[in-house]
Each structure stands twice: as C-alpha cells, then as structure tokens.
Amino acid sequence: MTPLRQRMLEDMEMRNLSPNTQKNYVRQVEQFAVHFGKSPDQLGPEEIRTYLLSLVRRDASCNRFNVSRCALRFFFRVTLKREFPDIVCAKRPKKLPVVLSQGEVAQLLATPKKLKHRAILSTLYAAGLRVSELVGLRVADIDSKRMVIHVRQGKGNKDRYVMLSPMLLELLRAYWQERRPKEWLFPVTVRCVQLLCAAMARKAKLTKHVSPHTLRHSFATHLLENGENIRKIQVLLGHRSVQTTARYLHVSMEAITSTCSPLDRLATKSTAAPASQRENSLPPATEEGGGS
C-alpha cells in the first residue's frame, strides 16, 4: 500500500466513514489515476473536470458520477489540502420504488426450502432492514424480552430499534436451533443476500425485479396501507427526513385507490342539482285534483 493511499484511508477513518464508503472512495481515486496514467497527486482541477466529463459522455449512471465526484473531492480537499473545482452533483431521476403486494411477499417467503434462506428473507421484510444492516446483525441483537431488534450503525452511523415480530422470533429460534450461529446471526455477504433474493423471485415466478431493498420498500408501503403513522414508519426505517418516507405515499395502493377523483365529486354535484331544482319547481295542484 502506498503512503498516499494509507493517508487517505486514515483520513476517512478519522471522519468515521463506513468501510463500504472507504472502499468505494479508494476505488474511484484509483480509476481516476489509471485514466491519466499518473499518480493522483500529480493531477489537478482540470484533470478532475475532464475525467468527470468523460463519465458523462460514457453514459455513466448518476450514482457512479456522484460517487466519483465525492471521492475526488475528499481526496483533494482533505488528504491533499488542495482546491477542488466547483462541480455539482448529477441530478438523479426520481423513480418510484418497486413494491410487492402482500400476496407476492407471502409467495416469495414460502419459496425457500432452506430454513436459513427463509429466515433471511423474512427478517428483511419483517423489520424493513437494509441488506447491510441484515448482514451486520448479531445474535445478541435479537431482544426477545423487549420484542425489539437492535440495528447497529445503520446508514449515517446511527443505531435504532425496530419491532420484533412474534412470527419472526419463532422462525429465528428454529433457525438458531438448526445452525447455532455464534456471533453473527447470518454469516453471509451482501452479495449472497442479493443473489438469494433474485433466485427466490425467479423460483416464485414473480415478474417484478426483487432485491433486498424491494422487501424494505414493501415493508414501508404495507405499514402505510395498514394505517400506521408516517413518522413512526420514518423512525422504523431510520430515515433522516420524513420527506424520504413520504415517497411511499406514491406507491401505496390503499392511499391511491381510496382517494376520490374530483371527477366523481363533480358528477355527484351535477346529479344532485337538478333533483333539488325539480323539487322546487313542482307545478301547483289544480282545483280539479283537489290539491291532495
């Protein structure tokens, strides 16, 4: 390891950046150096601009562009104490998350034959965990006395508690009896869980793209459809802003289908008006009719 890389890693460690962020930042700076065939400390603002522009022209994703920009910004400003050009982040297109119906979730969770796989998928859905939070769960994080799960160092390096479903607890106890995990509840990698979700979705013959985050999206949407308060859902998900949680209003079928269209209200008013007019404009009774 070069002294320059070691220094950058130490800078990131002192700022408490997550191991994944550190790994991604080092990789992005390395690719920047490879692009020009020089050590990154021999490059400057003009090369940064040229490199980021090349990512745009190669149709790199917004996420790739933004991670590269943040990594180079950290490297030049923090590690090298140099100037960084005024380049803004790419604006990400706003897409609605993929959400499974409750029936599709039940179908997915019933698909795995192995108890371990069923426990992994069930924990993702029952607690709304990120995949990194799932693989970081320890056996001691399952608190059956208080019926909560302790999520340690989630996104933003924040701890939180989520509810422990009685059904999930029963499943986890059966899994523990079978596998007897020592420290880590699920000794697997993030990639393994991602592949598991995709494989089980294919086996369950689901037409939607299913990832670990799909189960988290489904958890939030189903809670919203069941009438849970959006701020409570925000706390359970570990969102910094309630606006992030509010996007599930856009995919909640209950919220959408239970909302009356203004067209229907207009139709109701238009049919009610003539009826009242007819009531008020009845012809007076004639003398021949006796008025009764």
Please tell me whether residues 147 and 45 are part of one structural domain.
no
Residue 95: inside a domain: no
> Distance of CA 46 to CAs 51, 53, 74, 83, Å?
9, 11, 16, 11
Q: Look at residue 219 in the predicted model and tell me its pLDDT.
A: 92
**Eight-class DSSP state of 141:** G
Does 204 score more than 90 pLDDT?
A: yes
Q: Give CA–CA dist 102/26, Å, rounded.
A: 41
> What is the model's pLDDT at position 271?
61
CATH number for 114: 1.10.443.10
Contact 159, 152 (CB under 8 A): yes
> Averaged over 284-291, what is the pLDDT?
45
Specify the pLDDT at position 196. Answer: 97
Task: Give the span between the Cα atoms of 163 and 212, in whole angstroms.
Answer: 18
Residue 60 or residue 85, greater confidence: 85
The CATH number for 69's domain is 1.10.150.130
Tell me what pLDDT residue 143 has.
96
Q: Across 199-213, 214-228, 265-279, which has the greatest mean pLDDT?
A: 199-213
- Which residues, 6+ apart, have CB-to-CB distance to 57 below 8 Å? none
Instruction: Quick: pLDDT tens for 243-282.
Output: 777 777 666 666 666 666 677 777 666 665 555 554 554 4
64 lies in the same domain as 113: no
**What is the domain count for the chain?**
2
* First-to-final CA distance of the chain: 105
Residue 178: domain span:
102-254
CB 78 within 8 A of CB 11: yes
Q: Show which residues are catalytic.
A: 130, 155, 213, 216, 239, 248
pLDDT > 50? residue 26: yes
pTM of the model: 0.69
Using a 10 angstrom Cβ sphere, with 0-12 exposed, 13-18 middle and 19 or more buried, the burial of residue 222 is: buried
Tens of pLDDT along 99-153? 999 999 999 999 999 999 999 999 999 999 999 999 999 999 999 999 999 998 7
